[in-house]
Amino acid sequence: MELTLAILITVVGASTPILIAALGELVVERAGVLNLGVEGMMLIGAIAGFVVQFHTGNPYLALLCGAAAGTAASLIFGFLTLSLSANQTATGLALTIFGTGFSALAGSSYSARPVTLMQPLFPADLATHPVLRVIFGYSFPVYFSFVMVVAIWYFLHKTRAGLILRAVGENDQSAHSIGYSVIGVRYLAVMFGGAMAGLAGACFPLLLTPQWAERMTAGRGWIAVALVVFASWKPFRLLGGAYLFGLVMTMELYAKAGGGPLSAVPSELWAALPYLATVVVLVLISIRRDASTNAPACLGKPFLPAN
């Protein structure tokens, strides 16, 4: 029981940054833009969050600055792909490479400097309670990620602004012809994606391991991008997908470290599980004829007004 709770807590930590970054990318893609720069924006957010935490010790300010730095990075992408109609795939990849290099440069004088972890949101009585800590033992970003799942679902499906955003992603020419600013909507979506990726990056030094290390996100931005497809662009499926990946990544380590029933499962199987699950989900999605893949119809295509 105690071990199960401990595992759950580690799973939540591993899943949260992936979920936050993937939620941002989901909104970006729903607006018809494919931003492959998530990993780069996360790294920029991570170093910004780290630097602010190091100098001020205020984790909320650190998260905010991480989000702001991610937004700034996303604006480079936005300018190139939206204003100049550059190829989105190439620009996104370039953003990841830029983010990796820039964060390394910005962080070069911050090695061997630890920071303090963000404290739990709830009072210590609840946060350190042997059982209740599984619900109340986390810091702000964890609860934020859950709230955002609901908020994004509500925004996309229950609000007029969400409908416009989806329209821009499904058929940009039509949205344009009835007077919506396609480029404007896409800029806002890209900035939101950047803010979420930056915040997700800032979670690394604030939640997981209180230090700066080059490339510390280690590919999780790519998992976030893949999850959006895995979740067929739906927020609640994304929640499930992020926790499935987090669970499997964590269980691999607990299985390797432990004795008992867990270690009976070969660790190679744990390592392969997320990918097996991806294959299964994609097969299931594609045999359902009605919904096809649910991909936004204009995903990745530059918008060039017809007239």
Partner 1 sequence: MTLSRRTFVKVGGAALAMPLLGSRAFAQLEKIKIGFIYVGSINDNGYNYAHNQGRLYVEEQLGDKVETVYVENVPEGPDCERVLRELAQQGCNLIFATSFGFGDSVVKVAPQFPDIAFEHATGYMSGPNIGLYNARFYEGRAVCGTIAGHMSKTGKAGYIGSFPIPEVVMGINSFVLAARKVNPEFTIKPVYISTWNDPAKEADAARAMIDQGIDIVAQHTDGPAALQVAAERGIVGGFGQGADMSAFAPDTQLTAIIDHWGPHYLASAEAVLAGTWAPGNTWEGLKEDVVQMGPYGAKVPEDVRAAADEVKNGQIDGSFHIFTGPIKDNTGTERVAAGVTMTDAELLSMDWYVEGVEQPA
CB of 32 to partner 1, least distance (A): 32
- CB atoms near residue 154 (< 10 Å): 12
Pick between residue 183 and residue 253 the one whose CB is nearest to partner 1. Answer: 253
Pick between residue 126 and residue 262 the one whose CB is nearest to partner 1. Answer: 262
Scan for tokens 């510390």, then name that residue.
216
**Chain centroid to CA 49:** 16
CB of 92 to partner 1, least distance (A): 21
CB of 134 to partner 1, least distance (A): 13
Q: First-to-last CA distance in the chain?
A: 65
Pick between residue 210 and residue 240 the one whose CB is nearest to partner 1. Answer: 210
CB 194, CB 204: distance < 8 Å: no
Instruction: Give the residues lining the site for partner 1 (CB under 8 A).
Output: 3, 6-7, 10, 13-14, 104, 107-108, 111-114, 117, 204, 208-211, 213-218, 220, 249-250, 253-259, 263, 266-267
CB of 59 to partner 1, least distance (A): 15
CB of 218 to partner 1, least distance (A): 4
Pick between residue 130 and residue 259 the one whose CB is nearest to partner 1. Answer: 259
CA distance 113 to 135: 31
Which amino acid is residue 200, in one-letter code? Answer: A
Pick between residue 209 and residue 278 the one whose CB is nearest to partner 1. Answer: 209
Residues 6+ apart with CB under 8 A from 138: 9, 12, 13, 16, 120, 121
Pick between residue 16 and residue 81 the one whose CB is nearest to partner 1. Answer: 16
CB of 9 to partner 1, least distance (A): 8
Per-residue tokens: 217: 């996100």
CB of 48 to partner 1, least distance (A): 17
CA distance 162 to 168: 10
CB 205, CB 211: distance < 8 Å: yes
Pick between residue 18 and residue 33 the one whose CB is nearest to partner 1. Answer: 18
Largest distance between two CA atoms of the chain: 68
Q: Which of helix, strand or coil describes residue 180?
A: coil
Residue 115 Cα distances to 78, 142, 210, angstroms: 32, 19, 5
